[in-house]
Structure 1
Amino acid sequence: MLTLPYTRLSARCTKLPAILLPVIYLVLGILELPRYFAWKSAFFMLCIVAMGVVFQTDRFRSGSTRCGWMALLFLLLWWKIPVLTFRYATLITALFFVIEFFYGRLQTLIFITAALIAPAIDFVVNVFSFPIRLWLTGMAGKVLAGINPQVTTVGNMILVGKHEFSVDPACMGLQMMLTSLLCGVMLIAVYQRRYHKVLPVTGVFLLLVVITGLNIIANLFRIILLVQLGLPPETPAHDAIGIIALLTYVVLPLLRGVKWMLQRYGKAPLQRDDTPVLPRYGMALQLLLLAGIVAVATKESAPTVKMDQQVKQLPGYSYTSLEDNIVKQTTAGSLLYIKGIPGFYFTDHQPMICWKGSGFGFYKIQERFVQGARIYTAELKKDKSTLYTAWWYESRTRRSSSQLEWRWDALCSGNNYYLVNITVEKEALLEPEIQRLLDAHLIQ
């Protein structure tokens, strides 16, 4: 006799948290991540569309607590390492926990989409794709040299006689990598609904790898066409070539490839007639997670680690300590920035991001060996002015230009790394300044 009243009471007890918890997490996301997302950008709008397209629940499999445990793990990381990426990971997995527990199990696609829209992934793609850009320069230069002997390559520059063509602005398609991956994920979701099949996780990741490769191929042909046709950046024809390359080498193959893979390897979802039973500890886990998120979000942030004290003040340079562990040292013709990086997991505000934010374009980017150290050099151009810059990563014991190398060493050894960026007005001054800084051992 108590079964029916108990069932009604349980249903009433679950309706309120099922509605309130998502609202709370969305509000916390807006409050905790005000600068993490470019809320008004076209890419963020695409992210919202992608989340809507891939969102699908299996209502016969509600009651899952897997996202709850993931959210607890990210919460501990957020508590120990207060970076925005862990805040986002905690809140999004907590939201997914509410959905999976009360409404139904989510498909893998929405987890992949949530990862792709994180700005940390955009940073990783832009920074770690830089060696690919240099490789594309060399490959495109070799192909074009077979057509026109006057073609040569210098760093990320392709020279056709007296005309210079920079791969960095021409390679904007690489910055569309995440857009292509999001489109691929949405395409998988659309075909899954159409054919009532689900692609295994291995198949989804295989498609993402294929999309990455297709993007690189599309950019190679895009660069070749732009240089061969002599189409400068910021022109309609320049943008049209990029769109044509993306459609031809990425979208069209995906239309057939996704359909074939789903028909060949897709599996029909299991149908269940029984009503799922919510585990009793699930609500306790929901409340524990909510309390932990509110506590960590409202606690006072730890004092910022001062890293500028380890930076040597050079004779002849004026010395200024700025915010965010940045030291600025200047002379009449040079500008030196030394930026402390608190840990291997932090972004580093490298010159290709900071100087571009000031309106400068990067040209003739090269990796060079100077006194046994690998460094990057480049030209900075804005309007009619040209500056010459070099940068590398340095600790007390090592120097490197490789993102993977310095981060791995920082993880294993615990050494603090600094980004060293020297910029001069005259090209003849760059080499002596680099050697002077390498001899000085800036980090003490």
Structure 2
Amino acid sequence: MSARQYALAAIPAAYLGISSIFFMHGYIHGDATFWMGIVLIPLLLRSYPPAEKSWRLAPAVAVILLICCFRQETSWRFLLLVLALLFAVESLLGKLNGQFFMVLIIISPIFKYVSEVFTFPIRLQISAWAGWVLRAAQFPVVVEGNSIQLNGAEFTVDPACMGLQMTGFALLSAVFLMAHFRIRHQQSLSFRYQVMLMLVAFALNTIGNLMRIILLVALHITPDNALHDVTGIVCLLVYVAAPLIFIVRHAHQRLCEPVATKRSIDKNRSQLLIPGHLALLAACAFFCFQKPVINIRSATKIASREGYAMQQLESGVTQFKNDQALVYIKPIPAFYSSEHSPVTCWVGSGYHLSRISKKQVAGTVVYVGSLKKGDDELLTAWWLSSGQYATISQLDWRWKCLTENNHFQLINVTADDPARLDAEVKRWLPAI
């Protein structure tokens, strides 16, 4: 191999080496979905070989590089690293297909966050549907938010159901089948049909989760039972994988076009190409090796409240505490930021959050849930507020933050009984 060929191989390898930082800091979790996506990549490269070399990602890399000069959140650094790696591959080896990008999105930490947060209303709806079906079948179930109770046993539709694992499996299955039938029949679906099949996979996953929770409750299969995981796998195979095989095969028979035989064209590039990539690699290393920054900063100064002990935490969160309640005010830097809701924060502290539902308090809808840790049980409520406007909708607050330049913060109130929680929520709902 020539020195240039070694350089072409070494640059992507160096990016992969830098990515180990995100593993060490826990930003990337090597779970089942992640490794499924990694194993799928060689099949995609065989099914969709690199085409003509491309610089199409250069503007995106430049924009993210500029953002990283002013923003220190881990998400921006991770995005810069991934885009720089893809830019290196496309400009040095050949243009990648859209399927490749789909897989990277599905196995990314960003997808995990989006799936856990934005599928929450779907989990509530699945609980309601499952409760309706079970009551119609004469089961005496009680539905409380995302939890279903039957004869003292509680079953929860949690992120493990509609979050990364099952949703990721369904979407990666669709990608695998499209790549498999493309190789087998030498026919390709248009991007429009590929997106439609991904949406079908998501819909099938929702149906599979509905059937799963119905079976778990009806057969009284608790989480500590070995059949709990077996039931989930069976539902994935029956309600997701089997229909997808039929649908993707049918789509390839009816909607495909012959695969264009296009090979990567090795054009003469500037002598500055490799030095430029080395400079970009150095910039990525500089940003990624910096200490991670918690993505919470106070946009407005929060005043003290009578009857509460106030404490400003290092993360930027403001804590108010008395004998009746514990209140956290968590400022959100921008519309694209995570809001650090109790769904992640309390769970990270060892609590189990269940019975999550919507509740109207003083004319405003908030989320409420139950926190359990051993014999300790608390009740918690949370919503997002701009000071004049309160909401629980992810799309709502992000849109207002983007278009109206409103600064939102998450308000989390925790107490030990329902009456006290309602009283504290009413006290904290007005403008802050």
TM-score scaled by structure 1?
0.87
- Relative to structure 1, the CA distance from residue 371 to residue 279 in structure 2 (aligned partners, 3 Å threshold; closer, same or farther) is farther
CA distance in 2, matches of 1:113, 1:170: 20
Contact between 1:170 and 1:233, CA under 8 Å: does it hold in 2? no
CA 279–267 in structure 1, closer or farther in 2 if over 3 Å, else same: farther
Q: Are 2:387 and 1:396 aligned?
A: yes
Kindly indicate whether the alpha-carbon contact (under 8 Å) linking 2:127 and 2:143 is maintained by their aligned counterparts in 1.
yes
User: Offset at 1:268?
Assistant: 2.7
Give 3-state SS (helix, strand or coil) of 2:429's partner: helix
> Which residue matches 2:76?
86
Residue 31 of structure 2 is aligned to residue 24 of structure 1: no
Question: Can you give the 5+ residue segments of structure 2 that lack an aligned partner in the other structure?
Answer: none
Partner of 1:76: 66
2:93 is matched with which residue? 103
Q: How far apart in 2 are the matches of 1:289 and 1:413?
A: 39
Residue 158 of structure 1 and its aligned partner are, at CA, apart by 2.4
User: Structure 1 counterpart of 2:152, which letter?
Assistant: H
Q: Among residues 369, 374, 378, which one is paired with 1:378 in the alignment?
A: 369
**Cross-structure match for 2:199:** 209
Q: Tell me the C-alpha RMSD between the 2 structures.
A: 2.8
Question: Of the candidates 124, 133, 138, which is equivalent to residue 134 of structure 1?
Answer: 124
What is the deviation of 1:419? 1.0
- Residue 329 of structure 2 is matched in structure 1 by 338
Q: Give me the whole-angstrom Cα distance separating, in 1, the residues matched to 2:397 and 2:169.
A: 29
Q: Aligned partners of 1:104, 1:74: CA distance in 2, in Å?
A: 22
In the alignment, structure 1 residue 310 sits paired with structure 2 residue 301: yes
1:353 maps to which residue?
A: 344
2: CA distance, partners of 1:122 / 1:310: 32
1:367 has 2:367 as partner: no
Give the Å deviation of 1:421: 0.8
Larger radius of gyration: 1
Q: How does 1:260-271 map to 2 (within 5 A)?
A: 260-271=250-261
Percent identical: 30
Of 399-408 and 291-300, the range deviating more from structure 2: 291-300
Distance 1:321 1:248, change over 3 A: same
Q: Of residues 264, 269, 286 in structure 2, which corresponds to 1:298? A: 286
Pairwise CA distance, 1:385: 2.3
Q: Distance in 2 between matches of 1:177 and 1:58?
A: 24
Q: CA contact under 8 A between 2:123 and 2:158: conserved in structure 1?
A: no
Counterparts in 2 of 1:61 and 1:17: CA distance versus 1, 3 Å: same
Partner of 1:166: 155
Contact 2:50 2:96 in 1 (8 A): no
Which residue does the alignment assign to 1:234?
224
Alignment counterpart, residue 278 of structure 1, candidates 252, 267, 275:
267
Give the C-alpha shift of residue 432 in structure 1: 0.9
1:322 matched to which residue of 2? 313
Secondary structure, in 3 states, of the residue corresponding to 2:187?
coil
Alignment partners' CA distance in 2, 1:115 and 1:107: 13
Per the alignment, do residues 73 and 36 of structure 1 end up closer, same or farther by CA in structure 2, a change over 3 Å counting? farther
Q: Cα–Cα, structure 1 residues 375 and 39, in superposed 2: closer, same or farther, change >3 Å?
A: closer
Find the residue that maps to 2:267 and give its secondary structure. coil
Mean alpha-carbon deviation: is it higher for 426-435 or for 166-175? Answer: 166-175
**Secondary structure of residue in 2 paired with 1:66:** coil
Counterparts in 2 of 1:233 and 1:302: CA distance versus 1, 3 Å: closer
In structure 1, what residue type is equivalent to 2:161? Answer: M
- Give TM-score scaled by structure 2 length: 0.89
One-letter code of the match for 2:348? G
Which residue pairs with 1:157 in the alignment?
147
CA distance 1:414–1:308, shift in 2 (3 Å):
closer
Partner of 1:3: none
| Cα distance change, pair 193–255 in 1 and its aligned pair in 2 (3 A) | same
Structure that is richer in helix per residue: 1
What are the Cα deviations for residues 6-54 of structure 1, in whole angstroms up to 9, with x where unaligned?
xxxxx95742431232123223333466436434433332232122332
Alignment of 1:52 with 2:42, yes or no, is yes
Aligned to 2:189: 199
In structure 2, the residue corresponding to 1:106 is in which secondary structure?
coil
SS for the counterpart of 1:220 is helix
2:384 maps to amino acid: Y
Which residue of 230, 234, 248 corresponds with 1:244?
234
Contact 1:371–1:435 (Cα < 8 Å) also in 2? yes
Deviation, 1:58, is 6.5
1:115-126 equivalences under 5 Å are 115-126=105-116
Q: Is the 8 A contact 1:37 1:44 kept in 2?
A: no
Q: Distance in 2 between matches of 1:149 and 1:302?
A: 50
CA distance in 1, matches of 2:389, 2:50: 56
- The answer on whether the counterparts of 2:23 and 2:29 sit within 8 Å (CA) in structure 1 is no
Q: Alpha-carbon deviation of 1:59?
A: 6.5
